[in-house]
């Protein structure tokens, strides 16, 4: 069975090179709203979504992420994207990570659907557990008690995506 959604899921790829121009407000809002429609446990809508487009703040977040990764400041873990989207969840909520992960997945698929590129960026949990990370969460107006779940680099792809790897054998099983 094939349809537009299945085809989009099969063709979305992580983008690791972006054009410098900023995405439009309408494109950003479309991606962010798609995140709000992700399923969440008990319908609590626990995740917190923060989009960053301020160049100085982008550089600061990239530096923080590279430091947690053990890389130098010459590495940009966000691949030069003009927009970052950070997702947080309540630290003591057992479903914080699954809920936030679904939000990130929805946003990646929405970005692809409207011609944007995205890539999941790791290390937000470690990054926002640092004193600098906690201070940044306060600057962003977030409440206490949150953890970083993940982030997206977001923008216009600078190059066409690579071809997908073949799916591995026995990736799924059906038991009747």
Q: Residue 101's domain spans which residues?
A: 22-155
Q: Determine, yes or no, domain membership for 114.
A: yes
pLDDT given for residue 43 in this prediction = 97
Residue 169 lies in a domain: no
What integer pLDDT is reported at residue 19 of this predicted model? 98
Q: What is the structure's pLDDT at 2?
A: 84
pLDDT 10s digits, 67-105: 999 988 789 999 999 999 999 999 999 999 999 999 999
- Residue 1 is predicted with a pLDDT of 81
Q: CA-to-CA distance for 130 and 48, rounded, in angstroms?
A: 18
Q: What is the pLDDT of residue 146?
A: 98
Total count of domains within the chain: 1
Domain presence at residue 168: no
Q: Are 9 and 72 in contact (CB under 8 A)?
A: no
Q: Are strands 146-155 and 117-121 parallel, antiparallel or unpaired?
A: antiparallel
160 within some domain: no
Q: How far apart are CA 72 and CA 24, in angstroms?
A: 31
Q: Which helix (H) or strand (E) holds 52?
A: strand 48-52
Provide the pLDDT for residue 72: 82
Does the residue 175 lie in any domain?
no
> Once rounded to an integer, what is the mean pLDDT over residues 154-159?
97
Strand, coil or helix: 154: strand
Instruction: Please determine, for residue 170, whether its predicted confidence score (pLDDT) is greater than 90.
Output: yes
Query: What percent of the chain shows pLDDT beyond 70?
Result: 100
Average pLDDT value over all residues in the chain: 96
In a domain, 80, yes or no: yes
Distance, C-alpha 130 to centroid of its chain: 20
Residue 130 maps to which CATH number? 3.40.109.10
Residue 48 within a domain: yes
Model confidence at 164, in pLDDT bands (50, 70, 90)?
confident
CB 130 within 8 A of CB 124: no
Query: Comparing C-alpha atoms, which of 103, 124, 55 is closest to residue 83?
Result: 55
List pLDDT tens digits, range 112-137.
Answer: 999 999 999 999 999 999 999 999 99
Question: Which strands form 146-155's sheet, in the order they lie side by side?
Answer: 48-52, 83-90, 146-155, 117-121
In a domain, 176, yes or no: no
Residue recorded with tokens 């790829």: 13
CA distance 38 to 36: 6
């Amino acid at each position: 069975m094939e349809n537009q959604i299945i085809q989009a899921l099969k063709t979305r790829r992580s983008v690791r090179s972006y054009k410098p121009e900023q995405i439009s407000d309408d494109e950003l809002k479309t991606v962010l709203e798609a995140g709000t429609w992700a399923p969440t446990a008990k319908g609590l809508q626990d995740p917190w979504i923060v989009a960053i487009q301020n160049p100085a703040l982008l550089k600061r977040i990239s530096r923080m992420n590279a430091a947690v990764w053990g890389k130098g400041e010459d590495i940009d873990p966000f691949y030069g994207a003009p927009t970052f989207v950070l997702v947080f969840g309540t630290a003591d909520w057992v479903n914080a990570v699954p809920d936030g992960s679904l939000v990130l997945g929805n946003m990646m698929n929405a970005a692809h659907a409207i011609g944007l590129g995205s890539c999941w960026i790791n290390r937000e949990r470690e990054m926002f557990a640092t004193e600098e990370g906690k201070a940044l969460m306060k600057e962003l107006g977030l409440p206490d008690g949150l953890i970083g779940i993940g982030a997206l680099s977001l923008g216009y792809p600078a190059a066409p995506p690579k071809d997908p790897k073949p799916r591995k054998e026995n990736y799924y099983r059906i038991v009747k």
